[in-house]
Structure formats: structure tokens, C-alpha cells
Structure 1
């Protein structure tokens, strides 16, 4: 949004999401109980609107160029408990209650591997 005062965006009370040049904003889904990061995805204005409207996380698929409801086919939806907005409003933290694994691989979180040297090792195995 051009013309938005930096002070208003950073210190004000008005929600003024700052989408990037592709019309996207980063969204980090975090488990409300454990605060574990479950996944990172992108939202466009429509996904953000649907998320706020339904209470279920919607995202924009950059590969498919389509709106998607997380859990639409798996039923592993992410129920929104709250949305936190970073200081300059270009990233969102979705505090969610997951209905199942968040990762498309079936892992609880998309962050299930640790980099050790040049090797990825599964966490908890």
C-alpha cells in the first residue's frame, strides 16, 4: 500500500498487511499448545480473507497458482486460534490447533529434519 505512513504501519492499530510484489505475505503456522512451527506458506489477499472469515487456514499455492484450504483432502485442517502480525506487517504468525499432521509427508511439522554437516537427519528417530 503506497502512501501508508511507516509509523502507522509499525506502531498503529490499523491492520495494513504488506503484500510483496507477487501479492503474497508469508504465513507461519504455529501449534497453539506447544508453539512448535508446523509449516510456512504464503497467503494472498483472498487466502487471508477466507482464513479470517472461516477460522480455517487458507493459503496460496505458488506452484499451482491456486487458493487452497489446508486439509481440504486430508482433513488435517488448521483451526485458527489467533493471528499475530509482525512489526512491519509483512509476515503473519497463525496460532493454530492442528487436526492432524501439518506436513504433506505425514510428519507432524514440516520441520522434521535437522541439518548435520551436509546430511539431513530426521528428528526423533
Structure 2
């Protein structure tokens, strides 16, 4: 540090044990707060996702009931309404589950296990 023109003795004279402990505790507090906030956000996002999925399913079932309940409509019109409802359901993702990434998580775990087995076989 002397070659760079920095006086190291002056830099570290102001550093005290209490200051270091304060910085470490502040960093620990920030990490714990981040974990808590991310946990709460995951809960809120999951609840909103479930509520929206339930709303989409309720909408699709009610519209399906309305289409079939209209007995005065011709068969062609009813068929076109059902096709349109099927397209809307496909666009909204009504037929998918509330947790579409559950299958992907299982697949990733299986691939990770295979990777660790391959790594172990290369070591031996």
C-alpha cells in the first residue's frame, strides 16, 4: 500500500471492534430480512396464482353452462360457441394445473442425481 501512496496506518486506526461487529450484524440483518421478504413474496405470489387459476376455471365452467343452457340456439351456433370457449380456455391455460412447474422440478432433480452419479463414476 505504501507503493500506491496510501498510508495503511491511517486507514485502520479508525476501525474498532465495535465497528466491525456493527457491520457484520447489519449485514446479517439485511440477509435475514431478504429471506423473510422473499418468503412472504413467494406466499403472496402463490396465493394470487391459485386465486387467478380458480377464477379462470369458474369463468370457464359458468360460460360452458350458459352455452349449454341456451336451448333456443341452433346446433351450429352452439358448436361455434363451444369451439370459441375451448380456444379461450387454451389461451388462458384453464386446462393446465395450478402448479405447472412441478413436473419440471422433478425432472431437474432426476437430472441432478444422474449428474452426481456420472461425476462419481468419473472419479472412481
TM-score (ref. length: structure 1): 0.17
Whichever structure has more helix as a proportion of its residues is 2
Higher RCO, Cα 8 Å, sep 6+ = 1
Whichever structure has more strand as a proportion of its residues is 1
* Rg larger for: 2
TM-score (ref. length: structure 2): 0.17
